[in-house]
Amino acid sequence: MSEFPSSSAVTVLGLGPMGRALASAFLDAGVRTTVWNRTPGRDGELVARGAVAAASPEEAVAAAPLTVVCVVNYDASDAVLRRTAVATALKGRTVVNLSADTPARARDTADWAARHGVHYLDGAIMTPTPTIGTADAVFLHSGPAERYEEHRAVLAALGGTHTHLGEDTGRAAAYDIALLDIFWTAMAGYTHALALARAEGVTGAELAPFAEGIAAILPPLFTEFAADADAGTYSGELNPITSAASTMTHVVHASESHGIDASVMRVIEGQARRVIALGHGTDGYTRVGELIGRR
């Protein structure tokens, strides 16, 4: 039995793996779901489960008060939403754009929506496709709180946690890119570590348990470093940046002795050395944030 009123309806634009997962979660929750994708043929399983396939994006958005967009980036979402027929059909309705892009693009799209009488919320999906519709999903939203509250119950069908970050439409994207920065630099570091370990005769399987130990150290450091950065204290009492730079040099030398590209670590070490040269050798590594953030 559906937990939503029979009038609850949503449109999903974009049926890549994530878009199909979103539509599937809505269907599982009993929300009447209309779907459209630029490339035909991806809606078969959803239609078999009760979704309505729209012949055009304007037909799709006209079918529901809420449209959820999930495509590769804002070039792709703009190419659909900013069609004259689609913009006309969207007037007075709400778009939640879960496509990934920059805060500036989110704000620009919100401005476009306001000029065309379209209600707009930006969002970010912070967990992979298999989590959608489960308790593990994490969604971030930003934009007018009134619109978020209006559609909150239907969005909850996607599972997990939903956090409204404020009225600034670009705020969800700001969180998204900052968190992706953590993820991809961490993945780059781990991939490099595996190559370095392999060159020294250590397999990935042998290294992995100890790598997990390093990862376990990070959560409390995230909290500590955030406080340092916010307060501008950059404490180096436990690990001054001079000591950190020395260990970075070891990674560079060991890597290059095996012909492994150490350019990323050379950049990191170079930033640390610049901080030291500016007279901050007793500070902690987070002082680098002030250095690279200077305009």
Which residues, given as ranges, of the chain have pLDDT below 50? 1-2, 6
The reported pLDDT for the residue numbered 1 is: 39
The alpha carbon of 84 is separated from its chain's Cα centroid by a whole number of angstroms, namely 29
pTM of the prediction?
0.93
The reported pLDDT for the residue numbered 2 is: 46
Domain ranges of the chain: 9-166, 200-292
* Long-range contacts (CB closer than 8 Å, 24 or more residues apart) made by 57-61: 57/13, 57/83, 57/85, 57/86, 58/83, 58/85, 58/86, 58/88, 58/89, 59/89, 60/11, 60/13, 60/34, 60/35, 60/36, 61/11, 61/13, 61/86, 61/89, 61/90, 61/93, 61/95
- Do 281 and 241 form a contact (C-beta atoms < 8 A)? yes
pLDDT tens, 230-240? 999 999 988 99
Do 200-292 and 9-166 have the same topology in CATH? no
- Do 10 and 155 form a contact (C-beta atoms < 8 A)? no
The reported pLDDT for the residue numbered 294 is: 76
pLDDT tens, 109-126? 999 999 999 999 999 999
CATH class name, domain 9-166: alpha beta
Handedness of CA 294, 178, 151, 98 (dihedral sign): positive
Query: To which H or E segment does residue 119 belong?
Result: strand 119-125
Query: How many beta carbons lie within 10 A of that of residue 17, not counting itself?
Result: 13
CATH superfamily of 200-292: N-(1-d-carboxylethyl)-l-norvaline Dehydrogenase; domain 2 (1.10.1040.10)
Phi, psi of 157 (to 5 degrees): -65, -20
Helices and strands of the chain, counted as H and E runs: 12, 8
By CB atoms closer than 10 A (0-12, 13-18, 19+), residue 108 is middle
